[in-house]
Chains A and B, each alone.
Chain A
Amino acid sequence: MRYDPPFHRTNGLRPAVAILAILIGLPFVVVDPYTRHLLVLSFIFATVAASWDLSLGFGGLFNFAHGALFAVGLYTFALTVKFLGLSPWLAIALGGIAAMAAAALIALPVLRLDGIYVILVTIAVAQLLYQVTVSQSKWTGGTSGIVSLPALRIAGYSFIRDGKIGYYYAALLLLVMATAFLYLLIRSSLGRAIVGLRDHKYFAIARGVSEARTRLLTLVASALFTGMAGAFYGSYVRVASPDVFGLGFLTLILSILLVGGVATLWGPIASAFVMTFLSEAIVSLGPWREIIMGVVIVLVVSFYPGGLWAAIQELRERLDVLRTGVMAAWRRRTERAARIARMGGAEEVMMQTPHGAIAVSDTGGNKPPILFLHGNSACKEAFAKQFAALRDEFRLVAFDLPGHGVSDNGDPETSYNVIAYAEVAEAVIAARGLHRPVVFGWSLGGYVGLELAARARAPLAGLAICGTSPLAVVPDDFAAGYDASSHLILASKQYFTRAEAAAYAGSATAPRSAESLYLHHNLPRTDGRARAYMMTKLPVVNWPRQMRMLREGKLPFAIIDGADDPFLNHNYLLELCRSAGWSHPLINIPKGKHAPFFNTPEAFDTVFVAFCRRALAAAEEREPAAATRSARPQP
């Protein structure tokens, strides 16, 4: 299963375009050549650090000769322009190629080694290259390097003029090209192989990933823009000095990478600016600067290993939680009348539960109760058609799950999982005094219903689920119970783009229309953490207990699905219902989609009402309601 929208259809597009626009416009504001110089250095270091991230972060290959690859680019540039008289532009391209060749050489010993040995051999290779460079002082100028390299120029216009503006844009172009290259590479099949080898080497190999080939390609790909950056650096500072072989340069790039966040493409790029300017700001402190940088590295690694990128993500999450929280509070007050009207005049009350304030719709009255549980990123108003059609015969109750509709946002660690949702349902049943309700669970709500029934703390008359595949083994059955589609990825995706929100609401309930507009309007309010945590916390549920409960068959149970539900694996459900010890009906509503109660309400209601009557009658037979109901005080 793969869900990979192109970059221009992801959430990253807008911030990336905005930052690029700022960087393009910046030289018009920043005219001071020194600041521009720092920006050019930031671009170069960002290119090198992001490239290193490919091998070190994504690949888990500790290539400590990365600084040497930069040096190879630098010296290739210096030697070819100085002694062969090559055009500097051509020499920059050649720098990239030479670095790739060097990376291929480094890969040879690395192919056979693991862990600490990779670090040691790459350090040795870097030292070897350094020693060779320094020993050939006739060509390389030894420890003093090659000086007075030519500057870049186009048609006689030197890039140094006008406050280095040419270099600024050339460096920016280099960074953009490197970023695009790495972005595409990481998302390609090669990128997946690289990450797969890092995370689970033997599994990846068993799936046909060639370790040697992938390692070679990783190192070579990480060298391309590193070498070009080295050559560009040579054309910019116009000196090729062997300092770049040393541990000092390596530590600088490593600190950029770590402070930015390992295995995140954008983190090192962002931190290149922070670290370059930070280290320049304290340059007057002399040796203390190095000490401060060292302490910063240790502190980041010890206490905030996610780095800058994790901090950005945290900030983004806080902003999003604030947005959804304000949205819920606002809608709770302003759209109340519209919601009550939509639910056929059912009363809406807020009640406190251990998982925050929950909004409940209740038609009330002394009739047999039905409790509706809505699905992922939906709201209680998804059942508006049932509230209108069935209210004469039944007492209908629905509530918004934590983080959904107009309920409060919950604590992600404790409130956004199937067990917590079942606890909320129990609290609603108790608080509204629902005696032995029939529970209808849709999609995620279906799992909540199953968990509610399996817990058996609140007695139920019956349970019907819709768009839910009962699971015994997670995650295996989860993969088997659904048709792999992007919908499943979206179900656990924290932040939706507009297109994704429309696609998700459209496929889960109905495409945008006048009738379904309110469901599309509701979706962006859902706390994104509810999706992400619900999925990651699937394993905490006692799934076999649910299946045991179904096989025991004491509780009237039915599966009422849309025959055209695009997400269910209908064969899985058929197999389940045909298996030994299964006594419950599987009802498919013709032409019904994932939400048949919304798409084909008449057909659904007929089947559903019949089930409810049967379940209630059976419950009445087991235990006459009149006797128990009078024994319990009505709240």
Chain B
Amino acid sequence: MDLPTLISILQSGLALGVLYALMAFGLAIVWTTLGIFNFAHGAFIAAGAYLAWQFGNAAAFGLGYWAGAVLAVAAMFVIGAVVQLLLVRPFERHRDIVLLTVITTLAGATIITNLLNVIWGPRMKQIEPALDGEIVFGLVHMRSQEAVMIAVVAVTLFALGWFLLRTPLGRSMRAVAQNREAAQLMGLDVRLLYALTFGLAAAVAGLAGVFIGSIRFMSPTMGDDPLQKALVVVILGGVARFTSSVYAAFAVGIIEAFSTYFVGLYWTPAVLFGLMILVLIVKPEGLFGRRQRSV
């Protein structure tokens, strides 16, 4: 393997990694905070892409790429909060909350995916990228859209980190995730924070959808594959800290890039899932996780 190949593998791994970090963030934060697994996460990604297309594309409202993206993210925040209200909140104190919310979010995913199909039709669409062309930087050749994506995701992730670690609202969210009862005793509005968490997760998923929609084709089921990737990332990383799934996302991106080069496109998903099962057997709390109470 020569240097340019290695660089191009690493570069593609990096691009995948930022995308995966964005996809996995929502899944991980919902899991840590609400203790549930949101199967509608993939549908959120697809919905974000379609909304951005609707707002931004010249064929629809034509507000432009960035306005479309911002509006889509805002709309996804509201949709996420509503989904939490309808599909998760009724079971908040239920003994079988894990199974019940798996069922309701699966049903929610079916509903959202088919609504997308009803509204926009099954035909493939694509969001026009913000920038065309390529950036050349030494040995690195990169599509401009990809560079924009990496930059935006990096800013987003830092902003989210700052939000969760430094702002009162973000700290409240983490407090609720750590100990619901104690947080409630401190006067935090747990139900509101749950809804905000779900909304934030959906908004970030929507942003991931915007990027996926501008580098690949969109279809109502476009969220299925990202959901699986996010699942792998979250399992591999664990949910102990906000950063653990970010590290895991880059690890998975780079593993996938190498695996695609060495064992081929077909076997790569099998490699990832095999790795995930291995991690679950050996270290169920994740590679970067700490041992915690069983869920």
* Cβ-defined contact, A120 with B235, below 8 A: yes
* Cβ-defined contact, B277 with A290, below 8 A: no
Chain B residues within 8 Å of A90, by CB: none
A328 to chain B, nearest CB (A): 39
Q: Give Cα A290 to B115, complex, Å.
A: 9
Name the 3 nearest CB pairs between A and B, nearest first: A135-B266, A294-B111, A287-B114
**A433 close to chain B: CB less than 8 A:** no
Q: Give Cα A222 to B40, complex, Å.
A: 28
A111 to chain B, nearest CB (A): 9
* Cβ-defined contact, A112 with B86, below 8 A: no
Q: Give Cα A287 to B118, complex, Å.
A: 6
Chain A residues within 8 Å of B106, by CB: 247, 250-251, 254, 297
Chain A residues within 8 Å of B35, by CB: 116
Q: For this complex, into which size category does the number of interface residues on chain A fall?
A: 35 or more
Task: List, sorted by A's number, 10 A–B pairs whose CB atoms are closer than 8 Å.
Answer: A115-B98, A121-B281, A124-B276, A125-B273, A134-B266, A247-B109, A255-B107, A287-B118, A290-B111, A298-B87
Interface contacts beyond A128-B277, A295-B111, A302-B104: sample of 18 additional A-B pairs, CB < 8 Å, sorted by A: A62-B98, A108-B281, A109-B280, A113-B284, A115-B98, A116-B35, A116-B36, A117-B280, A124-B235, A124-B277, A131-B269, A132-B270, A254-B103, A291-B114, A294-B111, A294-B114, A295-B107, A297-B103
Binding site for A on B (CB under 8 A): 31, 35-37, 39, 86-87, 90-91, 98-100, 102-104, 106-111, 113-115, 117-118, 224, 228, 231-232, 235, 266-267, 269-270, 273-274, 276-277, 280-281, 284, 294-295
Q: Give Cα A116 to B231, complex, Å.
A: 12
Main SS class of interface, A: helix
* Cβ-defined contact, B270 with A124, below 8 A: no
Q: Give Cα A135 to B87, complex, Å.
A: 36
Q: Give Cα A121 to B286, complex, Å.
A: 12
* Cβ-defined contact, A124 with B114, below 8 A: no
Query: A109 with B281: in contact, given A115-B295, A116-B37, A132-B270 (CB under 8 Å)?
Result: yes
Main SS class of interface, B: helix
Residue in contact with A125 in the complex, picked from B31, B267, B277, CB distance below 8 Å:
B277
Residue in contact with A117 in the complex, picked from B104, B118, B284, CB distance below 8 Å:
B284
**A576 close to chain B: CB less than 8 A:** no
B265 to chain A, nearest CB (A): 9
Within 8 A of B (CB), among A123-148: 123-125, 127-128, 131-132, 134-135
Which of B103, B267, B295 lies at the interface centre, i.e. has the most chain A CB atoms within 10 A of its CB? B103
Q: Give Cα A128 to B269, complex, Å.
A: 7
* Cβ-defined contact, A119 with B87, below 8 A: no
* Cβ-defined contact, B231 with A123, below 8 A: yes
Query: A62 with B99: in contact, given A254-B106, A291-B114 (CB under 8 Å)?
Result: yes
**A243 close to chain B: CB less than 8 A:** no
Residue in contact with B37 in the complex, picked from A120, A286, A295, CB distance below 8 Å:
A120
Q: Give Cα A131 to B31, complex, Å.
A: 26
Least CB separation from B281: chain A residue:
A109
Chain B residues within 8 Å of A302, by CB: 90-91, 104
Chain A residues within 8 Å of B118, by CB: 286-288, 291
* Cβ-defined contact, B231 with A120, below 8 A: yes
Query: A127 with B114: in contact, given A119-B98, A135-B270 (CB under 8 Å)?
Result: no
**A280 close to chain B: CB less than 8 A:** no
Chain B residues within 8 Å of A295, by CB: 107, 111
